[in-house]
Amino acid sequence: MKNKKSILVIAIILIASFACSLISSGDKGTGACGNGQSSSSSGSGKYNTEFPLPPKVENFMELGENAINYQTPMKLNEVVDFYRDEFDKAGYAERDITTVINDDTFSIVWDGHPSGQAIVVQGVDLGNGTTNVNVRLEDV
């Protein structure tokens, strides 16, 4: 059941990423997917999010109060290493039993957020030198 949910979430992320790239391709990152920021902007200081962001962020989207989606030119394993490092420094504990890392996708859950919710980070290699990343708080 959890595996089917992960596949569904990854499919939704892929569809959102594709739609975002179509929408933002003509608006230079200022439309719904660009969130009014240049696609070459970097780091979490440019965006309204509590989640750490890598140095290069493209097509940043807020998906509600506690969820974001973006693309980065980082490789999948680099994104995994980035979040493991950032969340370790923040004192969050990776929930090893739910960690899934494949050649093209990953899904990792961290516990310890003050809200009591888990932090879920999922990524998909889009195959064009870009990784799509979704970060959210969730009751898992």
pTM: 0.71
Structure tokens at 5: 């949910």
What is the predicted pLDDT for the residue at 4? 52
Instruction: Tell me which residue range forms the domain holding 123.
Output: 2-138
The closest of 23, 60, 32, 67 to 45, measured between CA atoms, is 60
Q: Which of 128, 97, 134 lies closest to 25 in space, CA to CA?
A: 128
Q: Tell me the per-residue pLDDT of 9-58, one tens digit each, with 9 for 90 and over.
A: 455 555 554 444 433 443 333 333 444 333 333 455 578 889 999 999 99
CA angle 18, 24, 30 (to 5 degrees): 145
Q: What is the dihedral of CA 19, 21, 24, 29, to 10 degrees?
A: 130
Q: Which pLDDT score, from 0 to 100, does residue 46 have?
A: 76
Give residue-wise pLDDT tens across range 66-110.
999 999 999 999 999 999 999 999 999 999 999 999 999 999 999
How many domains does one find in the chain?
A: 1
Say whether pLDDT at 3 is over 80: no
84: left (phi over 0), alpha (psi -120 to 50) or beta: alpha
Mean pLDDT value of segment 107-126: 96
**Residue 82 is part of a domain; what is its CATH number?**
3.30.310
Q: Which pLDDT score, from 0 to 100, does residue 34 have? A: 40
Give the three-class secondary structure for 1. Answer: coil
pLDDT of 72: 97
